[in-house]
A and B are shown apart, each in its own frame.
Chain A
Amino acid sequence: MWCTFYLLCLLLAGLGVAAWAPGPRNGFERFGLAACLGPGIVGLILIAISMLGLAPSRVEILCICLVLIFSGAARLRKFSWRNLRLPALRLDARTGWTILCLVSIVYGLFVAVTSALTGPTLEWDAFAIWQLKAKVLAIHALVPVPDYFRSVGLSYSHLLYPILAPMISAGAHAMTGQINGDKGRAPYLLMYAGMGALIYGYVRTQRGHIPAISCTALLMTLPALLQFAGSGTAEMALTAFFAASVVCILRWQQNRRLGDLALAAFFSICMGWTKNEGLALGAINALVVLLLTPLPLVRRNLAAAVAFAAIFVAACVPWLIYVHDLPHTDEDYIHRLRPSQIAAGGRYLPLVLKSLFAEFVNWSDWEIFWLIPVALAAYPFRVRQTRMIVTLWVLIALQLLAYIPPYLVTPWDLGVLLPMTLSRLLLHLAPAAALLIGLQWPRSSI
């Protein structure tokens, strides 16, 4: 029961903050935004408090959530559940297609619920890394530095990895009062549902119901996503934060409202605190905002883009300072990524590129998901929302480029590492591909 209450608190806290997001947004988009905002902001506040010497507790979480809910209470009155309605359905092909997609999405939700809430934690890096860290953070405050972060015998758990996802899980442990339970996986269920609602809501606003439900169903039934949705790793959190940041960047490009840019910056910060890859994804978001903002040389736009980058860097620095003096015994990619080492690893480039290409067409992980945006790019009648489409392709391309150097300097055997990690890296980009599919979906399809 406490676990359900925790999820409700995260959602309501997210709704409280999302109430400040600039409109107009439909109910689905606002719900999705809230489901990603809530865990992110509560997790970051818990980290800040933990750095002041207080481990998470039920009272602390309730107080944080109450403050966040009341912060947007006055504006929440504008939120109406009626906004969450699907369009009226009639007996036609649109209805049939909608039902097909809805059934698929319900299957995805069922899988996420069962894997997040039942049974033991099965994914090996969930229990070896993320959920172990969640237990550490639930028991100890970050100051004084817990013994865990200096235990080189636990280096396999990547001692220096960012801690937002484990802190969100630690909140579930603190709320339920059961450190040894498996409820730490539950919050990712909220993020899975939120990401779907966000993609649907945004694409529906831009292109209508059919493109929206189609790309949402394609995304939410991906085997790679279903594998991680309730597994307890940080993949779901990073993917959801990335989806939310991209939607906010696209909204900024359309309307140039600072609120959207602030949200995009917030989600980029969350990415940086979730995984090391998130630091790269956040930096790329900043670069894209800088380069692809409409009228980039207008003083206000330029200042906003520079502020985005500065806030992102400033907000990620505390963790880098925190881990600076701790033992660097694991992969430590940040210190390995030197030009000389990257050049030395150049001989692995063909293998990395070949494996990356093979993963795009790996049916067991993706079916034909990645082929659809490519086919749509070649579609001669596509919609001319050029800036948004270009932005999404640039994001995907830059992120793929950013993932290559770590493979060239990795201490691990690439033959083992590539098959283990490529599906996760592409999973982080999947929301951008889903948005590409939705935004380019032809009006004449059904």
Chain B
Amino acid sequence: MVAILRIDAWRGGNTILGIGRLNLQNIFGAILCVAAGVSIGLSIGSDARVRYLAPQTQAKINAFVRLDRVLDIDGRGVFLRLNGYDAEHIGYAARFYYRAVYDLYPRTVLLADPSVVVSNADDVRNADAPPSPSWLAAHGIDRVMTVHYEPNVFQFSAELSKVN
């Protein structure tokens, strides 16, 4: 920044950092430019650090790629059973459910009876009820995916079974 502003000083002279004559207005202008430059630089640095340098970012992308691969399944509809998630980790289970609904739409993904309201992670925890095969068939479900809580592996492992 200062180097750039010095170019003007070299060309003109009698200036402060190449900005103009030494007065309050010009000093304020110079401070503003430096502040804006610093803000822009810090913004880019902050974004680049999170986006390209933080190991968590690549881990997050890999986790979603893996999740999408797990959810790349055939069939008409899926019932999710969430196994072993306590109150602290239920958010991971909720996100699994949200992702499953998004990946598999327009196919049906259920956690419980369709009349049960699922607005947040607590509802996801309360909604996990094992259905009977006839109930599954009546709701157009031909797959059951059991999701187990597993620390440090994106908090899940999943197994798929076909409903006969």
Contact = CB atoms under 8 A, between A and B. Distances in A.
Interface residues of B, number: 57
Contacts of B11: 91-92
Contacts of B132: none
A221 B119 contact: no
B118 A155 contact: yes
B160 interface: no
Contacts of A379: 28
B7 interface: yes
A131 interface: yes
Interface residues of A, number: 60
Given A127-B102, A139-B106, A226-B47, A156 B118 contact: yes
A275 to B, nearest CB: 18
B119 A329 contact: yes
A154 B101 contact: yes
A330 B40 contact: no
B98 A135 contact: no
Contacts of A214: 33, 36
Contacts of A380: 24
A368 B105 contact: no
A152 B116 contact: yes
A100 B37 CA distance: 8
Contacts of A372: 32, 35-36, 39
A437 B35 CA distance: 12
A120 B46 contact: no
Contacts of B94: 156
Interface in A165-207: 179-180
B36 A135 contact: no
A97 B7 CA distance: 11
Nearest to B57: A122
Contact of A155 (B44, B65, B95, B117): B117
Interface in A376-392: 376, 379-381
If over half of B's interface residues share one DSSP class (helix, strand or loop), that class is named, otherwise mixed; here it is: helix
Contacts of A290: none
Nearest to A124: B95
A218 B42 CA distance: 11
A442 B47 contact: no
A380 B26 CA distance: 12
B134 interface: no
B60 interface: yes
B73 interface: no
B136 interface: no
Contact of A441 (B32, B39, B110): B32
Given A93-B4, A156-B119, A446 B33 contact: yes
A93 B4 CA distance: 6
A445 B28 CA distance: 8
Nearest to B46: A223
Contact of A93 (B5, B43, B46, B111): B5
Interface string A284-301: 000000000000000000
B65 to A, nearest CB: 6
Contacts of B101: 128, 132, 154, 157
B152 interface: no
B136 to A, nearest CB: 15
Contacts, number: 165
Contact of B65 (A120, A329, A330, A446): A120
Interface string B12-30: 0000001110001110111
Contact of A127 (B35, B39, B98): B98
B46 A364 contact: yes
A329 B117 contact: yes
A9 to B, nearest CB: 25
B25 A442 contact: yes
A119 interface: yes
A111 interface: yes
B58 to A, nearest CB: 11
Nearest to B61: A119
A222 to B, nearest CB: 6
Interface string A391-418: 0000000000000000000001000000
B111 A153 contact: yes
B64 interface: yes
Contact of A135 (B47, B65, B105): B105
B39 A111 contact: no
Given A122-B61, A128-B98, A222-B43, A92 B8 contact: yes
B76 interface: no
Given A122-B64, A124-B98, A442 B114 contact: no
Interface of A: 91-93, 96-97, 100-101, 104, 107, 111, 119-122, 124, 127-128, 131-132, 135-136, 139, 151-157, 179-180, 214, 217-218, 221-223, 226-227, 329-330, 363-364, 367-369, 371-372, 375-376, 379-381, 412, 437, 441-442, 444-446
27 contacts: A100-B37, A104-B43, A107-B44, A127-B102, A128-B98, A128-B101, A135-B105, A136-B105, A154-B118, A156-B120, A214-B33, A218-B36, A221-B40, A226-B47, A227-B47, A329-B117, A329-B119, A363-B42, A372-B35, A381-B24, A381-B25, A437-B36, A441-B32, A442-B25, A442-B29, A444-B26, A446-B29
